[in-house]
């Protein structure tokens, strides 16, 4: 009996000693700061900025430095979770974010962890991803019952709604950020203007909604927009049956691409059929190049987009004279000479309100070599339909 008691006492002592080693002696030793700015807070702040600019490895370094200084600093794990999400390692990302939640010492830290999980679901877009984002948004709101002025949950809920094509909900969330008027104001204002423009454009197709979210549109994006959102092949067949009606019909009577070779750099592309059809329609500036390529990923300039739209107007209205109607006129734009090859097209589009000047109608800058915002491209198609009374 005494021997049993001795063994039991020894076991308890060893267990106690082991727990001390685990919680103290074996725990990683915190790094000693080497300067006044060598703090967990500063490194996480820097890491978040680097993450936004796409400098992932630099961001990881900053989050790791923060964790070295304080192994229980929740924001460091939150940052590492976001970094892993950007890398596409969502299993590790969610595990790290869960660790950040456990280490959160304040309601704000816990709420920001829920925001981090919202961001991971938005990036991953798994099954029922928007419902997951909404669930963690509600958790963040409940956590912030006494801290209602934290804008982050609303901002990233707005981003999620925007990427789910629920533009009205996104606008409401971004307005809430502006109402709080604390941080993220400039970003929220930018996104609000963007979704409001998309709402004005009223894209009718999935491709229209996808393109509307793009910061820059490419040649393949425009080809898909013309065929799927504008339905240009159908319009040409309806308004110019003399030229396009028969050529756009298969022997069975359904629509079919013309027998046009598919450019080598578009073969196998998900939108190759749209490219093939638009090449057959002969839209100025959207054909193949002399080497037989289409350059699907080449960004469209505002000048080239105007030339495409002007050519479509000329074709639909059967007015070839429109191609030179404004030749020699005084240019209303400081950055567009009246002898530029795209001058006439720009005037055709701006006088009809189909493409706006840069920064608004009263500006005298067009920015011909600038890129085309996706929402602007879709809005131009909407205005083109209205101008030509296309149903």
- The pLDDT tens digits for 351-365 are 999 999 886 555 689
Annotate 254-292 with b (16+ C-beta within 10 A) or e (fewer).
eebbeebebbebbeebebbbbbbbbbbbebbbbebeeee
| Segment holding 173, helix H or strand E | helix 167-180
| Average confidence score pLDDT of the chain | 88
Would you say 160 and 127 are in contact if contact means Cβ atoms under 8 Å apart?
Answer: no
| CA 84, 85, 91, 95 torsion-angle sign | positive
Q: What pLDDT, on the 0 to 100 scale, is given for residue 35?
A: 77
Query: Is the confidence at residue 8, as pLDDT, over 70?
Result: no
Q: What one-character DSSP code corresponds to residue 225?
A: I
**119 three-class SS:** helix
Tell me: pLDDT of 299 over 60: yes
Whole-number Å distance between alpha carbons of 91 and 96? 9
Compute the distance between CA of residue 33 and CA of residue 145 in angstroms, rounded to an integer. Answer: 35
Asked whether residue 290 carries a pLDDT value surpassing 80, the answer given is: yes
391: closest CA among 280, 281, 238? 238
308: left (phi over 0), alpha (psi -120 to 50) or beta: alpha
> Is residue 71 within a helix (H) or strand (E), and if so which, with residue range?
none
Q: Does residue 3 have a pLDDT over 90?
A: no
Alpha helices in 184-224 (DSSP H): 185-201, 206-212, 219-224
pLDDT at residue 6 tops 50: no
Q: What is the DSSP letter of 324?
A: G
Full set of structural domains in the chain with CATH: 40-201 (1.25.40.10), 206-387 (no CATH)
Find out whether 44 and 63 touch, Cβ atoms under 8 Å.
yes
Per-residue DSSP letter, 212: H
pLDDT in tens, 196-207: 999 999 999 999
pLDDT in tens, 17-29: 344 333 444 456 7
Is residue 378 within 8 Å of residue 211, measured between CB atoms?
Answer: yes
Sign of the Cα torsion 371, 376, 381, 385 reads negative
- Candidate from 68-82, 121-135, 316-330, 352-366 with smallest mean pLDDT: 352-366
Count helices and strands (H / E) in the chain.
17, 0
Rounded CA gap, 284 and 304, in Å?
A: 9
pLDDT at 345 over 70: yes
Q: Which pLDDT belongs to residue 59?
A: 97
Tell me what pLDDT residue 149 has.
86
pLDDT(12) > 50: no
- pLDDT score recorded for residue 234: 94
- Across 289-313, average pLDDT: 97
More confident residue, 320 or 33: 320
String of DSSP letters for 234-282: HHHHHH-IIIIITTTB-TTSSB---S-PPPTTTTT-TTHHHHHHHHHHT
The mean pLDDT of 122-130, rounded to a whole number, is 97
The residue length of the chain stands at 391
pLDDT of 346 over the 60 cut: yes
Give phi and psi for 301, each to the nearest 5. Answer: -90, 160
| 166-194 per-position pLDDT tens digit | 999 999 999 999 999 999 999 999 999 99
The number of CA neighbours under 13 Å toward the Cβ of 195 is 23
Q: What is the pLDDT of residue 7?
A: 46
The average pLDDT across 378-382 equals 97
d(CA 351, CA 346) in angstroms, rounded, equals 8
Whether the CA torsion 387, 169, 167, 154 is positive or negative: it is positive
Within 10 A of 122 (CB to CB), how many other CB atoms are there? 21
Please provide the DSSP assignment of 143-167 as one string. HTTT-TT--HHHHHHHHHHHHTT-H
Tell me the pLDDT tens digit for each residue of 67-120. Answer: 999 999 999 999 999 999 999 999 999 999 999 999 999 999 999 999 999 999
pLDDT at residue number 344? 97
């Amino acid at each position: 009996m005494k021997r049993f008691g001795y063994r039991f006492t020894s076991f308890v002592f060893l267990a106690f000693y082991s727990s001390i080693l685990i919680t103290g002696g074996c725990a990683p030793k915190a790094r000693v700061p080497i300067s006044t700015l060598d703090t967990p807070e500063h490194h996480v702040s820097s890491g978040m900025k680097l993450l936004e600019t796409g400098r992932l490895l630099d961001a990881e370094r900053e989050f790791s430095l923060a964790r070295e200084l304080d192994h229980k600093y929740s924001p460091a794990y939150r940052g590492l979770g976001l970094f892993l999400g950007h890398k596409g390692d969502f299993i590790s990302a969610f595990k790290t974010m869960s660790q950040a939640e456990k280490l959160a010492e304040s309601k704000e830290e816990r709420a920001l962890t829920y925001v981090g999980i919202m961001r991971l679901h938005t990036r991953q877009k798994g099954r029922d991803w928007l419902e997951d984002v909404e669930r963690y948004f509600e958790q963040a709101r409940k956590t912030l019952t006494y801290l209602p002025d934290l804008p982050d949950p609303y901002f990233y809920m707005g981003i999620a709604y925007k990427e789910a094509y629920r533009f009205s909900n996104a606008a409401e969330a971004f307005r809430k950020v502006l109402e709080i008027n604390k941080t993220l104001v400039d970003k929220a204002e930018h996104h609000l203007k963007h979704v409001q423009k998309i709402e004005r454009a009223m894209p009718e197709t999935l491709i229209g909604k996808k393109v509307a979210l793009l910061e820059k549109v490419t040649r393949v994006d425009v080809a898909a927009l013309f065929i799927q959102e504008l339905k240009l092949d159908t319009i040409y067949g309806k308004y110019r049956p003399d030229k396009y009606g028969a050529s756009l019909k298969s022997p069975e009577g359904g629509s079919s691409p013309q027998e046009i070779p598919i450019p080598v750099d578009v073969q196998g592309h998900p939108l190759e059929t749209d490219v093939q059809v638009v090449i057959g329609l002969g839209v100025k500036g959207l054909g193949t190049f002399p080497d037989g390529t289409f350059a699907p990923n080449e960004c469209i300039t505002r000048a080239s987009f105007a030339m495409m739209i002007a050519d479509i107007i000329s074709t639909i209205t059967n007015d070839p004279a429109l191609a030179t109607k404004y030749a020699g006129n005084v240019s209303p734009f400081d950055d567009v000479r009246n002898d530029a090859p795209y001058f006439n097209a720009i005037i055709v589009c701006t006088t009809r309100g189909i493409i706006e000047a840069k920064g608004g109608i009263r500006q005298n800058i067009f920015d011909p070599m600038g890129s085309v915002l996706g929402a602007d491209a879709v809005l131009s198609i909407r205005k083109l339909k209205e101008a030509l009374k296309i149903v």
